[in-house]
Structure 1
Amino acid sequence: MVLIGSFARVRLPRGRWADAALVGGVFALAVVGGMRPLMGEREEPWPVTVLDLAMIAAACGALWFRRRRPVAVALGALAATAVYYLTSVYDGPLLVAFVVALYAVAAQGLLRAAVAIAALSVVAVGIGTLAGNQDVNGVALFMLTGWLVAVVALGWLRHSRQAYVHEVERRAAGEERLRIARELHDVIGHHISLISVQSTAALHRIEKDPAQAGTALAAIKSSSREALRELRATLGVLRQVDEEAPTAPPPGLARIGELVESARSAGVDVRAHTSGEPEPLPTEVELAAYRIVQESLTNVTRHSRATAVTVRVSYAPREVRIEITDNGRGPARTAPGSGISGMRERARALGGELITGPGRDGGFAVRARLPHGNGASPQS
């Protein structure tokens, strides 16, 4: 078991080291397989032997450039291999160099070029067979064709696999950027909106009513401190894993009271109601619910000109429903950057839905349904 674990920890060479290992391995195989002219009774003149060794070196050395010039390398390996087998009395394993080069062409996504080169090699060998070459018969030609088809298929399969993995990674990176952007929007937008409202109020009241101006400045201080705290927690997800930096737990429904107080400090009468039996929810549900309430209250203070807002949270066995209604300007609220699309994305990511529109008694309403019967671990 220890030996197996040791082999499991061995790292295969990558990049240039992998290229060097491949070239060296194929060259060693070809040289060892072509040592017969140097041992025993000679069956070919020395110039031919030297030419064959040069073809071995050329075909194997060309593999170093297979990533940058795959087609040229494959054609060069094919030509060197053809010269070797036409001139040498001995059969060595130099064909391996051509097979590796052909695989590289297909693995680069050049399927038509790989098929054309494979067909060219089969045609060339077929012509030699028809011309009376006793070393290759019809069965050998058929087997060679099968091998080359398999090599091209394996190379194309690798290319397809790499393309798929690249696309998955690209989508994952895009989703992560959107998630972080949405999180930053919700965190910064809410508190900056409150600071903007309170600073405007402070400017208007600083001379006529210094006491109320002081209250507004205190609210600005509280909102800015909370914004910095949540911003640090959000940026924590961008840190490297090995930093092990302590971060605060993500906000949830238990902290909706803080949002209510912040909105009240902006001059809006906010009332919160809870129905059903509160229970621990998965972390992603808690965070989505908190952000939906936060963004809704941000839109109220920024766009609606509302004086009263009601927040309702209803717990059910397998879902939680949230409703935020106000007495503002109603469905005419179409200011850009309101974050409604972000709220809807959060709900959809959990398999739920979010609906916005006019309230029952006028104003504007946001209604969200967030399922949580998904087996996720609850927030501790």
Structure 2
Amino acid sequence: MGFLAVLGVVSLPLLNVWGTQSRPIDAWAVVLVVVAAISAGLRWWPLISFGICTISASVYLIVGYPYGSILLCVAVATYTMARRERMRPAVLAAGIALPLLLVHVFTNAAALDGLWGFLPGSAWIVVPFSVGLTRRLVVESAARQRAETERRALDEERLRLASEVHDIVGHGLAAIQMQADIARHVRGRKPEQADIALDAISRASAEALAELRVTLAAIAPHDATTASTESRAPTPGLARLADLCARMRESGVDVDLAITGTPRVLDPAVDVAGYRVVQESLTNVAKHASRRHATVTLRYVLAAVHLEVVNPTAHAGPVSEGFGITGMRRRVDAVGGEILVGTGDGRFRVIAVLPG
């Protein structure tokens, strides 16, 4: 604002020498230039700024003052309006201002005549309006892209958390439900068997809560309390497959575990993904299989880990993939592995190949 006002006032004496005008520069010219410069600086009210600036410049030119820095004020106000104002009001205001700014072509004898007279006047509105509008569209597009990226990241994080909670809570509740059913059926005839089932329920719930704490600690702020809790909680991984199968046996699922090859340290994401695939597969056996029997095979081969969970099934049609199987696919895809889920030969198979 101040720069435009100073530039306009300082340049006015030069226009008296080199400018083309029908009226010499006087005090009114100074007033009009200062008003236009001040209005061009009102960025918080772009329409008002543009309107005042355009009217001041039009009066300036119609009276017969020479072309000068007042047109620079018009360009600044036009750019600001196109950049900040909504599209429809900005286009309407520019459409009204353009003929108003060109009135001097017909009223000022010293102005350029004919079509050539329209070119300089039009350019001071058309060019900055186009530049401002382009800049606005670029900024808005970038903002939309950032918002979409943030939304996708948030959705992915929600899905990851939902999968973790589903695997932990679903597995724990399936084991607890089976043991509760056992305890309910034998409590009258075999109280000691009911006590064993209740102990299994207690262990399953404690382990599920411990794993849930690990998951929640991963998304919570890492303060001292979180770090302490996280360090005490067990970390899911293929090294704990034997414990997982033992818990499932306690829950009433007959599980055979076979491990071949030399176990090695895997990437933590791969390790957790493999564990969750087996966990979800055994949970599905506990909840849906007609025979609660499963065979788990873990093979360490060169640069890869092969997992296979097989259980008998009477279902021979296509597999209906719920949240659990979808979660397994997402986990395996996230670490660059492959997974196959299907039925055949009276058996249900989950086969996963993970890098490692």
Distance in 2 (CA, whole Å) between partners of 1:140 and 1:37 is 19
- The Cα offsets for residues 30-87 of structure 1, whole Å up to 9 and x where unpaired, read as 4434555999x994446x76666555555533x225xxxxxxx34x333212122233
- The Cα offsets for residues 193-236 of structure 1, whole Å up to 9 and x where unpaired, read as 11111111111111211111111111111111111111111112
Aligned in 2, Cα 1:348/1:124: closer, same or farther, shift over 3 Å?
Answer: farther
Q: Partner letter of residue 87 of structure 1?
A: V
Listed as ranges, the matches of 1:185-334 within 5 Å are: 185-240=166-221, 245-246=226-227, 247-248=230-231, 250-331=235-316
Distance in 1 (CA, whole Å) between partners of 2:51 and 2:323 is 66
* Match of residue 370 from structure 1: 354
* Match of residue 18 from structure 1: none
Aligned in 2, Cα 1:355/1:291: closer, same or farther, shift over 3 Å?
Answer: same
Larger radius of gyration: 2
The answer to whether the aligner puts 1:29 opposite 2:13 as a matched pair is no
* Match of residue 23 from structure 1: none
Question: Is the partner of 1:255 in helix, strand or coil?
Answer: helix
Distance in 2 (CA, whole Å) between partners of 1:329 and 1:320 is 29
Counterpart of 1:163 (choices 144, 165, 174) is 144
Question: Is the partner of 1:245 in helix, strand or coil?
Answer: helix
Counterpart of 1:64 (choices 40, 44, 49) is 44
- The Cα offsets for residues 237-278 of structure 1, whole Å up to 9 and x where unpaired, read as 331356783124741111111210111001122111122333
Post-superposition offset of 1:369: 2.1
Question: Is the partner of 1:339 in helix, strand or coil?
Answer: helix
Q: Partner letter of residue 350 of structure 1?
A: V
Counterpart of 1:80 (choices 52, 56, 63) is 52
Q: Partner letter of residue 80 of structure 1?
A: I
The CA RMSD over aligned residues, in Å, is 3.5
Distance in 2 (CA, whole Å) between partners of 1:124 and 1:290 is 75
Distance in 1 (CA, whole Å) between partners of 2:259 and 2:94 is 72
* Match of residue 100 from structure 1: 80
Aligned in 2, Cα 1:140/1:50: closer, same or farther, shift over 3 Å?
Answer: closer
Q: Partner letter of residue 203 of structure 1?
A: R
Aligned in 2, Cα 1:121/1:243: closer, same or farther, shift over 3 Å?
Answer: farther
- The Cα offsets for residues 160-191 of structure 1, whole Å up to 9 and x where unpaired, read as 11111111111111111111111111111000
State the aligned residue count: 330
* Match of residue 159 from structure 2: 178
* Match of residue 19 from structure 2: none
Aligned in 2, Cα 1:239/1:129: closer, same or farther, shift over 3 Å?
Answer: farther
User: Where do 5+ consecutive residues of structure 1 fail to align?
Assistant: 1-26, 66-72, 373-380
- The Cα offsets for residues 337-373 of structure 1, whole Å up to 9 and x where unpaired, read as 561121122222233332222254x23211122234x
Post-superposition offset of 1:98: 2.7
* Match of residue 21 from structure 2: none
Question: Is the partner of 2:189 in helix, strand or coil?
Answer: coil
Aligned in 2, Cα 1:331/1:187: closer, same or farther, shift over 3 Å?
Answer: farther
Distance in 2 (CA, whole Å) between partners of 1:209 and 1:333 is 42
Percent pairwise identity: 32
In the superposition, the TM-score normalised over structure 2's length comes to 0.78
Contact 1:309–1:325 at 8 Å: present in 2 too? yes
Contact 2:298–2:307 at 8 Å: present in 1 too? yes
Q: Partner letter of residue 69 of structure 2?
A: D
Aligned in 2, Cα 1:127/1:321: closer, same or farther, shift over 3 Å?
Answer: farther
